[in-house]
Structure 1
């Protein structure tokens, strides 16, 4: 799923070629005129009348996938509001994201800096984890969000335990290990 993107809102027709549809979408809406290659492109789920199914595209090159994902900001605006692009995550991460999304939305409404990265929610630079009592709330307006930095003890404790993933390097072959000589 690392190389997959999901495209929303692309009109569906009978006997369509999804790969060609995605290539045309990328060229016209995202203004990427480089040839993008895919391993596989298909619609998700069963066909339902009067409903447009999303398209899953598995890219050959991760670099191309990232280029398309980063160009998704060009879909902002009234003329492109029916379209969308997102990464495809495993089911477990999607479930966690669904639980965190109301908190993300509430933080944005409070004009706070919020990021939903994989299955983690970061509000004002600190990791946020909801209480079990918070999870019972269904209305995003009454969510128990911290008021500011370091005001919620849950945030401070969670931030202290959180260590970010190392970036880049793959298996770490270029790092020197203790006790080994070169």
Structure 2
């Protein structure tokens, strides 16, 4: 049953009613960095890198002290009800390692994912990407990392439902984190 905009999710091994939206493989980032060659007079160069998160977990308000891994690339995001009427709301967290980008300038960074299933394509997309504090342990609903700022609503490219490609720019967040010499950066996906 769809509730306040539904949810996004890829299936998990657990037996449960499928929420409205399912993410295909979580969140990844495409970074373009710049640097200069050590030899004087050489032009600047740019490197495009596809980056997968080093930690991925999702939380469920119906089980507030548990953290769930993406066992098969499955991440529920949103609200759904089980056949017994239990209401669940879940969020997904993605932590990226920034150590290899220290000393580099981030020219462009884009986060992307895709939906695997949607219960009701007539409802508007409300998938939001937030920057959070880096968790010190696996996030749970009760012990979730603090949301720092909303980065964006993920945009849907094309009329397909489910959307295979959802994307937003994260250049500012990544640039600030690298400039601040942070080793990691964490994002949260949730239904608005």
Q: Does the pair score TM above 0.5? A: no
Larger-gyration structure (1/2): 1
| Structure with greater helix share of residues | 1
Q: Give the number of the structure with larger relative contact order, counting CA–CA contacts within 8 Å between residues 6 or more apart.
A: 2
Q: Structure 1-normalised TM-score?
A: 0.24
